[in-house]
Amino acid sequence: MQLQEALQELITKMADDELVIGHRNSEWTGLGPVMEEDIAFSSMAQDKIGHALALYRILQEHFGGSDPDQFAFLRNAEDFRCCHFVEMPIGSYDFSLMRHFLFDHAETVRYQALAQSKYAPFQHLAGKVKGELKYHTLHADAWIIQLCTAGKESRERMQAALDTSFQLAGGIFEPGPAEELLIAEEIYPGEAALYTQWLGHISPVMEKAGLVLPELTAPVYGGRTGKHTPHLQQLLNEMGEVFRLDPEATW
Amino acid sequence: MYGGGYIFDEPNRKQQREEQLHDDPEKLAAFEARIARGEKIEPGDWMPAEYRRQLIRLIEQHAHSEIIGALPEGTWITRAPGFKRKLALIAKVQDEVGHGQLLYNAAETLGKSREAMINDLLSGKSKYSNVFNYPAETWADVTVIGFLIDAAAIVNQVANSKGSYGPYCRALERICYEESFHLKQGHDAFIELATGTPAQKAMLQDALNRWWQPIMHFFGPPDKTSNHSEKLMQWKVKMASNDDMRNQFLDAYVPKIWELGLTLPDPLLRKNPDTGKWEYSDPDWDLFFEVIKGNGPCNKERLDVRKWAEEHGRWIRKALMRPEEMERSALPVA
């Protein structure tokens, strides 16, 4: 695999993660447990989808990719490169909140690394999303700590959500097929390095919350090579339902 | 959105009339003089019991309309075609929930808690705008809601923002500012379909046909059948008559619809050049009252979704609201 191809692969998986988690989080709009939280989740969903769009635009402008709408709304599951974690249905709020916490810290360490990237579009984008991510993780940390220290029921729920989520979250860091090329060119530090940094970010919060880190068994891989849960195709069918009526039309 | 023009009132008002009798006549006169001078009434000020009751009813139903109104459009967020529409729709529905929050806060200043208001919504005691008891069947419905129902709500809300109760007026000013953006996005999406492929146009025409009667219902029954609004007008709780608001809406939006080559399902709809007023067929008012009673196509579905959200969020609200319980069981397990 050539460098360009490896880079394209990296951008695609990052963008697909952002689109799918943004889509999932937007499902809480109107249904949140308190109005203030409903608003917060919708707002963060927009940010994620906005990040996806920015990344698809990089593909379009620098790699001759197709229009972001066409690329996002017409592909089927096997062409998506998102991890299984983001595909999972929203479930209860405990799961969605835990996913938000684990994913957003992963996103933060990724963009912190990309701020130093030799690839200029990454540097540029990282500068733009930095401010947003600060508030996303602030929001996640506050809720995790609050719920984990607010009583037996909520603490147990959050621990159970962590147990369910942790191996799935490990799938965010599934190594790419040619990431050593990207590491050598100082485009990004590679998934293993990001994983270690991520643990460093989430551990102090989990400690403060009294959460017990599950055993570090095998993370759930497959998404980066196009192998997905059935949930993804269902999500994509729904997402493309109107757009696919007439992909040539403007909506 | 989404302040419906029509605010449901319980038929038995005996108790309130009795309360009203106990209002100190001097205080009442001073209160009415303040309103007549254009002053705003603030939460700590003296107010007649009936004024307080009517305002709670009005603001609460408006707040419910915002959070219930988020549902028909909310179901289309996951299906919105393309990034632009998807992002705009999430932002728009998010704003509506935010309006709910502002309005519940405004109503709370009158002494009823948000929890009590939500409980009354779920039990069916308190109503919301009837228009949200109809289904959003296609993407075109979303554009009709975003354009025309938001437009209708703006007519109503701009009028109400000139009312007498300070917290409600201030909330409405902010709401109207955001609504003007909603109207633009709704109009933009509506025009896209109206000027699109034959299939898109047909989809829009179908949606318009289905939504026209609920839109005509939106401002409430005709003035000739509407009772006991004189006092509310004097107190500046109600700021414009149902027919006046309906006429204002028709005057602003029917020409825009016709210009796009779309039709409206009312052969009698026309502006009378002599009176300058719009004429139209009476919508089915029996149906309107049936829907208020809970027998509309989506009443049950809307409340069921809200009940689901309330039930599933209970443990979280509990974790936020009971510090004494938190302390007892806060020790982490390891």
DSSP 8-state assignment for residue A175: P
The structure tokens listed for B121 are 């919504």
> Is A29 within 8 Å of B93 when comparing Cβ atoms?
yes
A-B Cβ pairs (cutoff 8 Å, strict): 158
- The angle formed by the CA atoms of residues A148, A153 and A159, to the nearest 5 degrees, is 50
219-278 of B, contacting A, C-beta below 8 A: none
Crossing angle of the two packed helices B83-108 and A35-63, in degrees rounded to 10: 160
Within-domain flag for B331: no
The structure tokens listed for A178 are 């040619």
Residues contacting residue B333 through CB under 8 Å, at least 6 positions apart: A155, A159, A210, A212
> Is A242 within 8 Å of B71 when comparing Cβ atoms?
no
Touching check for B318 and chain A: CB below 8 Å?
yes
- Specify whether the CB–CB gap between B83 and A69 falls below 8 A: yes
**Considering its fold, how many domains does chain B have in total?**
1
> Is A242 within 8 Å of B79 when comparing Cβ atoms?
yes
CATH of the domain at B263: 1.20.1260.10
Rounded CA-CA distance A107/B22 in Å is 63
Within-domain flag for B135: yes
Q: Which residue has the tokens 């028709």?
A: B250
Rounded mean pLDDT for each run of 10 residues along chain B, 334 residues in total = 58 55 88 97 96 96 96 96 98 96 97 95 94 96 97 95 97 95 96 98 98 96 80 92 96 98 98 97 96 94 95 92 56 44
Range(s) of the domain holding residue A45: 3-245
Touching check for B331 and chain A: CB below 8 Å?
yes
Touching check for B325 and chain A: CB below 8 Å?
yes
* SS3 letters across A79-129: HCCCCHHHHCCCCCHHHHHHHHHHHHHHHHHHHHHHCCCCCHHHHHHHHHH
Torsion sign (Cα): B265, B266, B270, B275: negative
Among the listed residues A48, A27, A47, the one whose alpha carbon sits nearest the alpha carbon of residue A38: A27
Q: Which of A20, A26, A29 to mutate to test the interface with B (most CBs of B within 10 A)?
A: A29
* 3-state secondary structure (DSSP) of residue B270: strand
pLDDT of residue B5: 54
CATH of the domain at A54: 1.20.1260.10
Within-domain flag for B264: yes
CA distance A129 to chain B (A): 16
Return phi, psi of residue A3, to 5°: -55, -45
Within-domain flag for A251: no
DSSP 8-state assignment for residue B240: S
- The angle formed by the CA atoms of residues A117, A119 and A124, to the nearest 5 degrees, is 80
Range(s) of the domain holding residue B42: 23-323
* 3-state secondary structure (DSSP) of residue B165: strand
Touching check for B197 and chain A: CB below 8 Å?
yes
**Considering its fold, how many domains does chain A have in total?**
1
> Is B77 within 8 Å of A27 when comparing Cβ atoms?
yes
pLDDT of residue B21: 64
Tens of each residue's pLDDT in chain A, 251 residues: 799 999 999 999 999 999 999 999 999 999 999 999 999 999 999 999 999 999 999 999 999 999 999 999 999 999 999 999 999 999 999 999 999 999 999 999 999 999 999 999 999 999 999 999 999 999 999 999 999 999 999 999 999 999 999 999 999 999 998 899 999 999 999 999 999 999 999 999 999 999 999 987 899 999 999 999 999 999 999 999 999 999 999 99
- Specify whether the CB–CB gap between B197 and A249 falls below 8 A: yes
pLDDT of residue B329: 47
Within-domain flag for B240: yes
Within-domain flag for A222: yes
Within-domain flag for B122: yes
Within-domain flag for A250: no
Within-domain flag for B5: no
Is the pTM here over 0.95, yes or no?
no
Within-domain flag for B9: no
Among the listed residues A90, A102, A97, the one whose alpha carbon sits nearest the alpha carbon of residue A235: A90
Within-domain flag for B10: no
